[in-house]
Amino acid sequence: MSNIKPEDFFKNVISHSKEYGFIFPSSEIYDGLGAVYDYGQLGAELKKNIRDYWWKAMVQMNENIVGIDAAIFMHPTTWKASGHVDAFNDPLIDNKDSKKRYRADVLIEEQVAKIEDKINKEVEKAAKRFENFDAAMFKSTNARVKEYQEKIDNINARFKTALNDNNLAEVKQIIVDLEIVCPISGTKNWTDVRQFNLMFSTSMGSVSEEGNTIYLRPETAQGIFVNYLNVQKTGRMKIPFGIAQTGKAFRNEIVARQFIFRMREFEQMEMQFFVKPGTEMEWYDYWKQARLKWHLSLGLGKEKYRFHDHLKLAHYANAAADIEHQFPFGFKELEGIHSRTDFDLKQHEQFSGKKLQYFDPELNQSYVPYVVETSVGLDRLFLSILSSALKEESLEGGDTRSVLSLPPALAPYKAAVFPLVKKDGLPELAESIMKELKFDFMMAYDEKDTVGKRYRRQDAIGTPFCITVDHQSLEDKTVTIRDRDTMKQERVAIDKLHSILSEKTSLQSLLKML
Ligand code: ATP
């Protein structure tokens, strides 16, 4: 169906986003700012709808989860306690010829993925050759595949130890041993690996003195931890319970490419779930499955998601997995699910001198709860949805159309109303339909060009329904309603439009699948 070459597809996503007012480079008239983007008129709507769906699924649907909205600025000691001042670093490396900077860990991971690809190709080739092909048996007996697998295992083991020991010389050695070349210069002329702290800092108040340095939060989670007791007490929350939050986070990313996948200012949607120590693994499994189900409910394709269990655990975690999504540039992290133990609350107890415990009436004892967190980037989610929904379709008669098959509940406009012609009282009737529906639905109105062209414009921005008012409408109070995906038209009574749109475009239709 698609006429677009895979390598051009991602470029199309970016240009489509701009052309139709979803995403613009930040301060574009000054040539933009690295890895910072603005959401346009349609992007803001889509983003809001995604956020709403997450919020409703987390907060509204779960009586034991409440939502807060903490400030971006936090007391600087927060970031000492959380470990971000000392350990929120990425290992960076420069290529001396191209002067390009890379994340050393990403270079290694990508090289390992290339070797994994080779294994998969061998397996695919063999599967074509042999009937009753047994992949596991093939992997354990084929010499070449075994050699690749041993190489991967060896690199993964060295890499994990090097990262855990903060052994940057060994990280560099792995890059050398893997013979990784810079994609720009094609050379292996690397600098040493250095650590780089990703937090942005600024100063508060009018005098810039030592001591008033504050950070732009690199994650929203800490705003939840420092409010844990406030919420638990005032909300009379009983464990297990969760606190959810959406909001901006800032990271001075070393390599900020790939459009809104990795930005320096982005939005997170996080939920910290406070549990009894010892029950965290059950809840970790529960939230892994619940969050995957949420993503699958969007209907973008089951095959586009997979779990990736972490090799290296962050300093606060005893288990961690990513839900990865198949972006146009491959499978990458979309959401993290982390079992964070009691690390954060204990650290804040220690640094603040305040007790952050929970009195468990069933056990008749107090403890610091354990935490399982779900953390998803709203912008990454936006990109995953937009790029999965964008299609170039060939139509009968050699025509093509760009269609954004967004889940109807997330689409910026739920429906567009067109008078067939700009006369005979059709615009007046169309406007009265608009007036009625816009109390409950985001509606578009268009009377310019042919109806065919108007359909194309709405297809390209993902509007699930187009309602056309024609001469028959004046006589029998019916209109045609056209489905974006099937392009089928149906004649329906005007007074049925509200219930049709409610049924097909409300967030309820998604929430019911959870
Ligand atoms: P990555 O390995 O891609 O840098 P991370 O493991 O550091 O991500 P977390 O700290 O777990 O990410 O953050 C949770 C989520 O926030 C991620 O799954 C991602 O969706 C989102 N996120 C993190 N960094 C960025 C960024 N720079 N731009 C956009 N989204 C981000």
The pLDDT score that the predictor gives to residue 6 is 64
Peptide bond connecting 240 to the previous residue in cis, omega within 30 degrees of 0:
yes
Q: CATH number of 89-197: 3.90.1510.10, 3.40.50.620, 3.30.40.230, 2.70.98.30?
A: 3.30.40.230
Enumerate the domain spans of the chain: 1-87+199-394, 89-197, 395-511
Nearest ligand 1 atom to alpha carbon 268: 16
For residue 166, the model assigns a pLDDT of 85
**Main-chain phi, psi angles of 54, to 5 degrees:** -60, -45
Question: How large a percentage of the chain has pLDDT more than 90?
Answer: 81
- Which residue, 292, 316, 291, is CA-closest to 306? 292
- What is the pLDDT at residue 1? 42
User: Does the beta carbon of 375 lie inside 6 Å of ligand 1?
Assistant: yes
CA of 377 to the centre of ligand 1 (A): 6
**pLDDT over threshold 60, residue 115:** yes
Write the DSSP string, 158-195: HHHHHHHTT-HHHHHHHHHHTT---TTT----B---EE
**What pLDDT score does 163 carry?**
82
Does 208 score more than 60 pLDDT? no
Average pLDDT over residues 396-402: 90
In this prediction, residues 411-417 reach a mean pLDDT of: 98
> Which of 210, 253, 380, 406 shows the shortest CA–CA distance to 305?
380
- In three state form, how does the secondary structure of 330-365 look? EEEEEEEEEEEECHHHHHHHHHHCCCCCEEECCCCE
Q: Is 140 or 400 the better-scoring residue by pLDDT? A: 400
Element (H, E) at 460: helix 451-461
Higher pLDDT, 384 or 106: 384
Residues 6+ apart with CB under 8 A from 286: none
Work out the pLDDT band at 78, boundaries 50, 70, 90.
very high
pLDDT value at residue 87: 85
Q: Mean pLDDT check: name the lowest of 149-153, 443-447, 473-477.
A: 149-153
Specify the CATH number of the domain 1-87+199-394: 3.30.930.10
Mutate which of 216, 268, 327 for ligand 1? The one with the most ligand atoms within 8 Å of its CB, which is 268
pLDDT band at 3 (very low <50, low <70, confident <90, very high): low
What spacing in Å lies between the alpha carbon of 325 and ligand 1's midpoint?
Answer: 13
d(CA 507, CA 394): 30
Residue having the nearest C-alpha atom to atom 20 of ligand 1: 377
Asked whether residue 330 carries a pLDDT value surpassing 80, the answer given is yes
State the average pLDDT over residues 373-392. Answer: 97
Atom of ligand 1 nearest to the CA of 263: 28
Token pair belonging to 489: 């038209």
Domain 395-511 coded CATH 3.40.50.800:
yes
141-159 pLDDT per residue, tens = 788 888 888 999 999 999 9
Ligand 1 atom nearest to 218, measured from its CA: 10
Please report which confidence band the pLDDT of residue 255 belongs to, taking 50, 70 and 90 as the band edges.
confident
How many angstroms is it from 100 CA to the middle of ligand 1? 22
Specify the range with the lowest mean pLDDT, choosing from 92-96, 121-125, 426-430, 471-475. Answer: 121-125
pLDDT for 386 equals 98
CA of 232 to the centre of ligand 1 (A): 28
- Among 65-69, 195-199, 309-313, 372-376, which is the least confidently predicted range? 309-313
Nearest CA to ligand 1 atom 19: 377
Inter-residue contact 275 to 228 (CB < 8 Å): no
Write the residue with the smallest CA distance to atom 30 of ligand 1.
377
pLDDT value, residue 314: 77
Listed ranges 139-143, 161-165, 212-216, 283-287; the one with the highest mean pLDDT: 283-287
Q: Pick the range with the lowest mean pLDDT from 107-111, 355-359, 374-378.
A: 107-111
User: Hey, which of 222, 260, 262, 332 would you mutate to test ligand 1's pocket, going by the most ligand atoms within 8 Å of its Cβ?
Assistant: 262
